[in-house]
Amino acid sequence: MRAGRTSIWLARHGQTLANRERRYLGRGDSPLTPWGTAQTARLARRLRPHPFDVVVSSPSLRALTLAQQVVQARTAMLQHDPAWAEVAHGTWEGLTWRDVLARHGAAAHARFAEPWHGRATGGESLAEVHRRVFDAWHALLTTWAGGRVLVTSHATPIQLVLCIVSGMPPHEPWRWRIDLGSLTIIDVYPAGPIVRQVNEVARGSMGVTPADERDSAERYHDG
């Protein structure tokens, strides 16, 4: 481990079928698309030269798939941590926004009228997700002080970490764009955090077409 600096690498999983269809995807799972499989392999290859003391993954299969590829032929431990899961969408899980309006119109308007404490029936509020991500972030910094940690997770937890380290309002995580198959790196020093890079997405490899890349960039949705 490196004295004085803790390096946290945050990776979002590749595209799933639900992402491509613009469906709410939280605690459920959806298979990776061919493009999502390519994204996962490319990101694992991007991470291969870098040693990690531990790989921490959301329990969702789409995040675990990336974590498992990264730890192959490594000495790093793989830990599952539900604190890094995506927002639980409750009764909205698997629905499109059009479906939500048709089936839960009044509840949807009520939720977004109160974006911090509002929630889907049976789901989580942003305040609740922020609380668990805040605790998980500080637990990493305490447990792995001076180390390099990879977290395979989802858009919302990564956005919330960026709010935490930048001092931005935690009820506005949407201001940070975190694409599918992207990498964000934060180095934390005794004097404070330095955001090294945000939302790095490699382009033009793995035999994919420009149309695939446009599709992935446009299908920015929960998950």
pLDDT of residue 75: 77
Tell me: pLDDT of 140 over 70: yes
Tell me: pLDDT of 218 over 80: no
Instruction: Quickly state the pLDDT bin for 205 (edges 50, 70, 90).
Output: very low
Question: Average model confidence (pLDDT) for the chain?
Answer: 91
Q: Which residues pair with 188 in a beta bridge?
A: 6, 193
Domains annotated for the chain, with CATH where assigned, are: 6-89+124-218 (3.40.50.1240)
C-alpha span between 106 and 97 (Å, rounded): 13
Q: What mean pLDDT comes out for the span 215-222?
A: 48
Look at residues 191, 139, 146, 190 and name the one whose alpha carbon lies nearest to residue 161. Answer: 139
DSSP state of 122: T
Q: What are 14-67's pLDDT values in tens digits? A: 999 999 999 999 999 999 999 999 999 999 999 989 999 999 999 999 999 999
Instruction: Quickly state the pLDDT bin for 216 (edges 50, 70, 90).
Output: very low
C-alpha span between 220 and 205 (Å, rounded): 20
Higher-pLDDT residue of 19 and 209 is: 19
Higher-pLDDT residue of 144 and 73 is: 144
Percent of the chain with pLDDT over 90: 84
Q: At residue 12, what are phi and psi to the nearest 5 degrees?
A: -95, 140
